[in-house]
Amino acid sequence: QVQLVESGGGLVQSGGSLGLSCAATGSTARLPVMGWYRQTPGKQRDLVAHISRGGVTNYADSVQSRFTIARDNAKNTVYLQMNRLKPEDTAVYYCNSGPVPVYNWGQGTQVTVSS
């Protein structure tokens, strides 16, 4: 079983930056493609970026050129650097395998972007 713990969220002004981390523990041998998802109240959880073990990345159109996903396979950690943040990026951010989540969800980390 894999446990996921997200961290790094917070409050930031529009145009600012934040970096998120996701640490995986447990049965982490050869974590597959990993992704970052986000969810706002009353809406479904959407995939915003994912990265293969070899570093191939894919982004949702809404975050392309502003967000960067990265991973450290030795540390079983996935990162999301978010630049030029917009109020519509406000959400709880989660990590999981991607593009199909197969692990239990962590608690997520809240990102709030003020206008």
Mean pLDDT of all residues in the chain?
96
| Confidence (pLDDT) at 27 | 78
Q: Enumerate the β-bridge partners of residue 10.
A: 111
For the chain, what percent of residues have pLDDT higher than 70?
A: 100
**One-letter amino acid identity for 51?**
I
Sheet strand arrangement including 57-59:
10-13, 109-114, 91-97, 34-39, 46-51, 57-59
- Of the CA atoms within 13 Å of residue 31, those in its CB half-sphere come to 33
Reported confidence tier of residue 44, pLDDT bands at 50, 70, 90: very high
Q: How far apart are CA 3 and CA 96, in angstroms?
A: 10
Judge whether residue 43 has pLDDT over 90: yes
- Identify the H or E element spanning 111: strand 109-114
DSSP codes, 9-33: -EEEETT--EEEEEEEEES-TT--S
Q: Write down the residue that tokens 């999301």 correspond to.
A: 80
Reported confidence tier of residue 55, pLDDT bands at 50, 70, 90: very high
Judge whether residue 28 has pLDDT over 80: no
The tens digit of pLDDT for each residue in 71-98 reads 999 999 999 999 999 999 999 999 999 9
Reported confidence tier of residue 57, pLDDT bands at 50, 70, 90: very high
